[in-house]
Structure 1
Amino acid sequence: MRPTTRNILGVAAAALVILASTGNTPANAADAPYDVLVFSKTAGFRHDSIPAGIQLIRDLGTANNFTVTATEDSNQFNATNLAQFEAVVFLNTTGDVLNATQQTAFENYIRTGGGYVGVHSASDTEYDWPFYGELVGAYFASHPAIQQATVRVENRAHAATAGLSPTWVRTDEWYNFRTNPRSSARVLSTLDESSYSGGGMGADHPHTWCKTLQGGRSFYTGSGHTQASYTEAGFRSLVLGGIRYAANRTRADCRAETGYTALYDGATTGWSQAGPGGFSNSNGTLTSSGGLGMLWYSTKEFRSYSLKLDWMMPGDDNSGVLVGFPASSDPNSAMSNGYEVQVDATDTADRTTGAVYGVKSADIAARDAALNPPGEWNTYELLVEGERLQVFLNGVKINDFTNTDPARSLTSGYIGIQNHGTGDDVSFRNIRIKELGGTAPRVGPITSATGKCVDVSGSSSADGAKIQLWSCHGGTNQQWTVNGNTLRASNKCMGVAGGGTANGGLVQLSTCNGSGAQNWTPGANGALVNSQSGRCLDANGGSSADGTQLIIWTCHGGTNQRWTLP
Structure 2
Amino acid sequence: MRRLALAVAAAVAVVSGAVVISPAQAAPLTRVLVFSKTAGFRHSSIPHGIAAIQQLGAANGFSVTATEDAAQFTTASLAQYQAVVWLSTTGDVLNASQQTAFQSYIAGGGGYAGVHAAADTEYDWAWYGDLVGAYFASHPANQTATIRVEDRGNASTAHLPPTWSRLDEWYNYRTNPRSTAKVLASLDESTYSGGSMGGDHPITWCKSVGSGRSWYTGLGHTDESYSDPNFTRMLLGGIQIAAGNRPADCRPETGYTPLFDGTQASLNQWRQAGPGGFTLANGTLTSFGGMGLLWYPVRTFSNYSLKLDWMMPGDDNGGVFIGFPDPQGDPWRPVDTGHEIQIDATDADPTRTTGSVYSFKGPDAAVRDAALNPPGSWNAYEIRVTGQRVEIWLNGVKINDYTSGRAIANGHIGVQNDGDGLDINYRNIRIKADGGPPPATDLARGRPVTASSVESGSPHAAANAVDGNTATRWGSAYTDPQWISVDLGATYALTRVRLSWEAAYARAYQIQTSPDGSAWTTVHSTTTGDGGVDDVAVTGSGRYLRVLGTQRALTSYGYSLWELDIYGT
TM range (shorter): 0.7 to 0.9
- SS of residue matched to 2:357: coil
Which residue number corresponds to residue 512 of structure 2? none
Give the 3-state SS of the residue equivalent to 1:219 in structure 2: strand
Q: Aligned equivalents of 2:430 and 2:147: distance in 1?
A: 21
CA contact (8 A) 2:23 2:246 kept: no
- 1:474 Cα deviation from its structure 2 partner: 7.5
Q: Which residue of 2 aligns with 1:421?
A: 419
Q: Residue 294 of structure 1 aligns with which residue?
A: 293
Counterpart mapping for 1:314-325 below 5 A: 314-325=313-324
C-alpha spacing 1:23/1:73, structure 2 compared with 1 (3 Å):
closer
SS of the counterpart of 2:19?
Answer: coil
Deviations 1:432-459 (A, max 9, x none): 0011239x9xxxxxxxxxxxxxxxxx97
SS in 2 for 1:198: coil
Q: 2:271 and 2:12 mapped to 1: Cα distance?
A: 30
Separation of aligned partners in 1, 2:262 and 2:125: 42
Secondary structure at the counterpart of residue 251 of structure 1: coil
CA deviation string 1:163-190 (max 9, x = no partner): 1111111111100000000001110111
Following the alignment from structure 1 to structure 2, what is the Cα–Cα distance between the partners of residues 125 and 142?
A: 13
1:389 alignment partner, SS class = strand
CA deviation profile, 1:38-75 (whole Å, cap 9, x unmatched): 00001111111110000000011111111100000111
Give yes or no for contact 1:17–1:26 (8 Å, CA) kept in 2: no
- Residue among 156, 164, 167 paired with 2:163: 167
Question: Conserved in 2, the CA contact under 8 Å of 1:314 and 1:374?
Answer: yes
Q: Which residue of 2 aligns with 1:140?
A: 136
1:200 to 188, 196, 203: 196
Distance verdict in 2 for CA 1:432–1:23, change over 3 Å: farther
Q: CA-to-partner distance for each residue in 1:279-300, whole Å, 9 max, x for gaps?
A: 1111000111211111111121
Shift in Å, 1:30: 5.2
Q: Which residue matches 1:475?
A: 530
TM alignment of 1:100-119, pairs within 5 A: 100-119=96-115
C-alpha distance in structure 1 between counterparts of 2:74 and 2:377, whole Å: 34
Alpha-carbon deviation of 1:26?
A: 3.1
Answer yes or no: is the 8 Å Cα contact 1:383–1:391 preserved in 2. yes
Q: Contact 1:39–1:72 at 8 Å: present in 2 too?
A: yes
Over the matched positions of the two proteins, sequence identity in percent amounts to 59
1:372 and 2:427 equivalent? Answer: no
- Runs of 4+ aligned residues of structure 1 deviating over 4 Å after TM superposition are 20-25, 29-33, 471-474, 476-480
- Following superposition, the deviation at residue 269 of structure 1 comes to 2.0
1:289 counterpart letter in structure 2? F
> Counterpart of 1:70 in 2: which secondary structure?
strand
Aligned-residue offset at 1:276: 1.0
Query: How far did 1:22 drift?
Result: 12
CA RMSD of aligned residues (A): 2.4
Q: Any conservation in 2 of the 1:26–1:237 contact (CA below 8 Å)?
A: yes
Contact in 2 for aligned 1:18/1:24 (Cα 8 Å): no
Aligned mates of 2:105, 2:342 — CA distance in 1 = 36
**How many angstroms does 1:23 deviate by?**
11
| Native 8 Å contact 2:14 2:20 kept in 1 | no
SS of structure 2 residue aligned to 1:131: helix
Q: Which residue of 1 aligns with 2:339?
A: 339
From the superposition, tell whether residues 30 and 20 of structure 1 become closer, same or farther in structure 2 (CA, over 3 Å).
Answer: closer
| Cα distance in 1, alignment partners of residues 147 and 34 from structure 2 | 26
**Residue 475 (structure 1) shift:** 2.9
Question: Is the counterpart of residue 349 in structure 1 residue 344 in structure 2?
Answer: no
Distance in structure 1 (CA, Å) of the matches to 2:369 and 2:14 = 30
Q: Residues 248 and 20 of structure 1: is their aligned pair in 2 closer, same or farther, counting only changes over 3 Å?
A: same
Instruction: Say yes or no: does 1:94 pair with 2:90.
Output: yes
Q: For residues 464-506 of structure 1, what are the alpha-carbon distances to aligned partners after superposition, in whole Å with 9 as ceiling and x for unaligned? A: xxxxxxx9977369999xxxxxxxxxxxxxxxxxxxxxxxxxx
Contact 1:219–1:242, Cα closer than 8 Å, also in 2 = yes
Q: Give the distance between the partners of 1:391 and 1:56, measured in 2 at CA.
A: 37
Deviation string, structure 1 residues 314-348 (Cα, Å, up to 9, x no partner): 11111100000000111111111000000011111
Q: Give deviations 1:97-121, integer Å, cap 9, x for gaps.
A: 1111111111111111111100000
| DSSP-derived class of the 1:56 partner | helix
Match of 2:232 among 219, 230, 236: 236
Matched with 1:409 is: 407
Residues in 2 aligned to 1:20 and 1:194: alpha-carbon distance in whole angstroms? 33
Structure whose alpha-carbon radius of gyration is higher: 1
Q: Name the CA distance, whole Å, in 2 between partners of 1:224 and 1:84.
A: 26
Say yes or no: does 1:128 pair with 2:124. yes
CA contact (8 A) 1:120 1:224 kept: yes
Corresponding position of 1:63: 59
- Residue 69 of structure 2 aligns to which amino acid in structure 1? D
Q: Are the aligned partners of 1:17 and 1:376 in contact in 2 as well (CA < 8 Å)?
A: no
The CA deviation string for residues 357-412 of structure 1, in whole angstroms up to 9 with x for no partner, is 001111112111211111111110010111111111111111111112xxx31111
Shift of 1:25: 4.5
Q: Write the distance in 1 (CA, Å) between the matches of 2:10 and 2:21.
A: 7
User: Matched residues in 2 for 1:156 and 1:26: separation?
Assistant: 18
Distance in structure 2 (CA, Å) of the matches to 1:235 and 1:459: 57
- Give the structure 2 partner of residue 278 of structure 1: 277
Q: Which residue of 1 aligns with 2:429?
A: 431
1:135-181 CA-to-partner distances (Å, cap 9, x unmatched) read 10000000001111111111111111111111111111100000000
d(CA) in 1 for partners of 2:376, 2:42: 39
| Letter in structure 2 aligned against 1:52 | H
Measure, in 2, the Cα distance between the counterparts of 1:335 and 1:116: 44
Distance 1:19 1:436, change over 3 A: farther
Partner of 2:556: none
CA distance in 1, matches of 2:16, 2:256: 33
Measured in 2, the distance between the counterparts of 1:19 and 1:274 equals 33
Q: Is the 8 A contact 2:181 2:206 kept in 1?
A: yes
Q: For 1:248-302, what per-residue CA distance to the aligned partner results, in whole angstroms no more than 9, with x for missing partners? A: 1111111100111111111302111111111111100011121111111112111
- Following the alignment from structure 1 to structure 2, what is the Cα–Cα distance between the partners of residues 310 and 366? 19
Find the aligned partners of 1:250 and 1:101 in 2 and give their Cα distance.
31
Deviations 1:209-251 (A, max 9, x none): 0111101111100011111111111111111110111111111
Aligned position for 1:455:
none
Taking the aligned partners of 2:29 and 2:102, their CA distance within structure 1 comes to 22
Q: Distance in 1 between matches of 2:29 and 2:180?
A: 30
Structure 1 pair 103/409, CA: closer, same or farther in 2 (3 Å)?
same
Residue equivalent to 2:392: 391
Whole-angstrom distance in 2 between the partners of 1:324 and 1:271: 16
Give the structure 2 partner of residue 26 of structure 1: 19
TM-score normalised to structure 2 length: 0.73
Contact 1:75 1:102 in 2 (8 A): yes
1:257 aligns with 2:242: no
Provide the rounded CA distance (Å) in 1 between the counterparts of 2:186 and 2:531.
46
Residue 422 of structure 1: CA displacement? 1.2
Could you list the runs of 5+ residues in structure 2 that have no partner in the other structure?
1-8, 439-502, 506-525, 536-569
